[in-house]
Structure 1
Amino acid sequence: MGRIMAIDYGGKRTGIAITDPMRIIASGLTTVPTGELLGFIRKYCAKEEVDILVVGEPKRLHNEPSDIEKDIAKFLKKLNKEIPALEVARVDERYTSKMASQALVDSGLGKKKRRNKELLDEVSATIILQSYMDIAR
């Protein structure tokens, strides 16, 4: 059984989270520039077994797709050509940034560290991954 990876796709950078091999714990992995995302996933999948990629699905309040959805669709098309065996799942990511921000506040991080957008994206990806794991159980 391979790991599950989740991404919080962004215009500039993308947060990435991963499960342990037993798929019990979701943990933040890193944040990468979005232009380097496909290469990062390719390299990671070459050294670790990853079965599922969970991609946040950004929607507006009235269930309409967000503007970045077009970019995500292009990325997923490229990903499918590069790694066709990788299953892709989508999870509604509404409010994950707010939840991630609150999680950082609740963790006791100082204000300066909470402003780190890379950390926020990584925590958002972890929330997306945990949401998928909760649904899949």
Structure 2
Amino acid sequence: MPRIIAIDYGIKRTGIAVTDELQIIASGLTTIPSDTAIAFLKDYFTKESVTKVLIGEPKQMNGQPSESAPIIEKFVADFTLAFPGIKVERVDERFTSKMAFQTMIDSGLSKKQRQNKALVDEIAATILLQDYLSRKMI
């Protein structure tokens, strides 16, 4: 079965998470510089079968798009052009970074480890993906 990928796209860094082949468990894959995302994904898609990509949709508390929304919309457009055969689904990413940071605390990571913003982005993508999988199972 093909995998599902979640992308937490940011101005500087992009966190990426992926399912196992049975689409049951989400795991962090990596964090990359955002300007390399399309090239990284081209390489990844040659090695792994992917059926769907979830891309975080940044919203404010009132549901309106956040300031970073235009940057992510451009990435979605670039992704769709580069990979027309892969389905894109947008998912609300509110609170994922806060949840990722709390996960790091709960996991017992040191203060220095919790300052690793790349790890926060990867965990945020994993939370997006695991939440999607949990909703899909219901």
User: Normalised by the size of structure 2, how large is the TM-score?
Assistant: 0.97
Q: Structure 1 residue 80 and structure 2 residue 80: aligned?
A: yes
**Do 1:18 and 1:27's aligned partners in 2 also have CA atoms closer than 8 Å?**
yes
Identity of matched residues, %: 51
Q: Structure 1 residue 44 and structure 2 residue 44: aligned?
A: yes
Per the alignment, in what secondary structure is the counterpart of residue 105 of structure 1? helix
Aligned pair count reads 137
Per the alignment, in what secondary structure is the counterpart of residue 59 of structure 1? coil
Per the alignment, in what secondary structure is the counterpart of residue 134 of structure 1? helix
1: distance between equivalents of 2:136 and 2:85? 19
2: distance between equivalents of 1:41 and 1:66? 25
Give the equivalent residue in structure 2 for 1:26: 26
Give the equivalent residue in structure 2 for 1:134: 134
Q: Spell out structure 1 runs of 4+ moving beyond 2 A.
A: none
Q: Which amino acid is the alignment partner of residue 9 of structure 1?
A: Y
User: 1:123 deviation in Å?
Assistant: 0.2
Give the equivalent residue in structure 2 for 1:55: 55
The unaligned stretches of length 5 or more in structure 2 are none
Give the equivalent residue in structure 2 for 1:94: 94
**Do 1:91 and 1:131's aligned partners in 2 also have CA atoms closer than 8 Å?**
no
1: distance between equivalents of 2:51 and 2:68? 25
Measured against aligned partners, the alpha-carbon deviations of 1:35-75 in whole angstroms (never above 9, x if no partner) come to: 00011111101110011100111100000001111111111
Measured against aligned partners, the alpha-carbon deviations of 1:106-127 in whole angstroms (never above 9, x if no partner) come to: 0011111011000000000000
Give the equivalent residue in structure 2 for 1:107: 107
1: distance between equivalents of 2:134 and 2:91? 11
Per the alignment, in what secondary structure is the counterpart of residue 127 of structure 1? helix
RMSD: 0.8
User: 1:80 deviation in Å?
Assistant: 1.1
2: distance between equivalents of 1:134 and 1:60? 23
User: Normalised by the size of structure 1, how large is the TM-score?
Assistant: 0.97
